[in-house]
């Protein structure tokens, strides 16, 4: 029997890692393996998943792929990783693949047609996570007037905005959609988000609403979609020969010392994010005088911070943050702003 694999896709900060942690905590004895791919040079997600010490997912079952986007490094990174997992004497019962928030799912699904993979594994389903809060705020909607003006200036321009393109692409490939962060959106706006999502999905695709990725594992796993046999029904911008090289997005890592006042730090960060239109920040903060490390997550303007575990003996007490935005981000100014906030 083929080993089922579930592909989890969704824009930066939609809640993929949160949903996977929920899944691991509710695995009910199933042996899961997790393949994680992130955009940015520091593996934060693997660290966070490992931090939860779930029995369902021991450390050797969490594989982080080298940096670079999974959809662009399929042959170099993803295929050898899958082969290793499948070659194990005791292979996993189900493989969960967390794609980077900027990944196009279709090339990954296509990788399951590779001869050595297709005989042993199948795509059980592509799950697209949607940040209902971000969609409701219009982050993925095209400003039609601005697009018309841009097209008038450049008749060859046929692109949607990079954010909208990813939104469409991830939804077009989905077997199921999770409208996450339902807690942040009023019922009326959520219904409107659902309408926008429905317009981009294939017929018959289920949409469920969730708070912190709390979806029943029975609903997520076991879709038996065999998506690799059904690629034609999943339209992609790549089909038309368009390039996908992530040039639209950029990221850098900020490293610094201990933060004296985390409240002041978060307030300053919020201003910095708004001023520079930063899409995503995540990482660890060392707080002066505190034995535990502070996890920092920012998705657009929303910041979350919590202490997750004590700094380990010998682990350097340092602040490390991955900052992601659209190309053109003023890295020097953001670095200077962060350095000023730390002191």
Residue 299 is a binding residue for ligand GTP (CB under 6 A): yes
With contacts defined by CB under 6 A, name the span among 135-143, 191-199, 206-214, 226-234 that binds ligand GTP. 206-214
Would you say 39 or 86 has its CB closer to ligand GTP?
39
**For helices 44-51 and 16-25, angle between their N-to-C axes, nearest 10 degrees:** 30
d(CA 190, CA 133): 8
**For helices 331-342 and 262-276, angle between their N-to-C axes, nearest 10 degrees:** 170
d(CA 266, CA 262): 6
Would you say 4 or 13 has its CB closer to ligand GTP?
13
What mask of x and - would describe binding to ligand GTP in positions 31 to 50, judged by CB under 6 A? -------x------x-----
What mask of x and - would describe binding to ligand GTP in positions 220 to 259, judged by CB under 6 A? ----------------------------------------
d(CA 254, CA 217): 36
d(CA 73, CA 79): 9
Of 189, 80, 176, the residue nearest 132 (C-alpha): 189
Min separation Cβ 202 and ligand GTP, Å = 22
Residue 304 is a binding residue for ligand GTP (CB under 6 A): yes
Q: Indicate the length of the chain as a whole number.
A: 343
Residue 292, CA distances (Å) to 48, 315, 318, 341 in order: 14, 11, 12, 20
What mask of x and - would describe binding to ligand GTP in positions 154 to 193, judged by CB under 6 A? --------------------------xx-xx---------
Residue 13 is a binding residue for ligand GTP (CB under 6 A): yes
d(CA 193, CA 199): 10
Residue 212 is a binding residue for ligand GTP (CB under 6 A): yes
Residue 137 is a binding residue for ligand GTP (CB under 6 A): no
Would you say 5 or 14 has its CB closer to ligand GTP?
14
Would you say 40 or 107 has its CB closer to ligand GTP?
40
- Which residues from 77-106 bind ligand GTP, rule CB under 6 A? 101
Min separation Cβ 302 and ligand GTP, Å = 7
Among 6, 9, 201, 297, indicate the residue that binds ligand GTP (CB under 6 A): 297
Sign of CA dihedral 31, 35, 239, 199: positive
H or E element at residue 180: strand 176-180
d(CA 321, CA 5): 31
Residue 280 is a binding residue for ligand GTP (CB under 6 A): yes
Residues of this chain that interact with ligand GTP (CB under 6 A) are 10, 12-18, 38, 45, 101, 180-181, 183-184, 211-213, 280, 282, 297, 299, 304
């Amino acid at each position: 029997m083929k080993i089922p694999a579930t592909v989890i896709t969704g824009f930066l900060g939609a809640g993929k890692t949160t949903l996977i942690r929920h899944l691991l905590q509710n695995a009910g004895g199933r042996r899961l393996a997790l393949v994680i791919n992130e955009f940015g040079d520091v593996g934060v997600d693997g660290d966070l998943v490992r931090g939860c010490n779930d029995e369902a997912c021991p450390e050797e079952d969490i594989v982080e792929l080298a940096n670079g986007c999974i959809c662009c490094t399929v042959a170099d990174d993803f295929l050898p990783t899958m082969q290793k997992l499948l070659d194990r004497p005791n292979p996993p019962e189900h493989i969960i693949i967390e794609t980077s928030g900027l990944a196009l799912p279709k090339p990954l699904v296509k990788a399951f047609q590779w001869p050595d993979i297709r005989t042993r594994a199948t795509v059980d389903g592509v799950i697209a996570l949607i940040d209902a809060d971000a969609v409701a705020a219009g982050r993925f909607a095209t400003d039609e007037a601005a697009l018309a003006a841009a097209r008038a200036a450049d008749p060859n321009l046929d692109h949607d905005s990079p954010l909208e393109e990813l939104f469409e692409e991830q939804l077009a490939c989905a077997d199921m959609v999770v409208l996450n962060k339902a807690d942040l959106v009023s019922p009326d706006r959520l219904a409107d988000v659902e309408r926008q999502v429905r317009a981009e999905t294939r017929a018959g695709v289920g949409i469920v609403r969730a708070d912190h990725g709390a979806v029943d594992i029975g609903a997520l796993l076991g879709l038996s979609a065999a998506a690799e046999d059904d690629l034609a029904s999943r339209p992609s911008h790549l089909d038309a020969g368009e390039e996908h090289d992530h040039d639209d997005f950029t990221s850098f890592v900020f490293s610094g010392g201990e933060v004296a006042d985390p409240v002041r730090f978060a307030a300053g960060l919020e201003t910095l994010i708004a001023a520079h239109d930063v899409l995503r920040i995540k990482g660890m903060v060392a707080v002066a005088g505190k034995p535990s490390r502070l996890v920092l997550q920012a998705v657009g303007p929303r910041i979350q911070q919590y202490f997750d575990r004590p700094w380990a003996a010998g682990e350097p007490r340092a602040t490390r943050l991955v900052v992601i935005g659209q190309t053109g981000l003023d890295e020097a100014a953001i670095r200077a702003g962060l350095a000023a906030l730390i002191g």
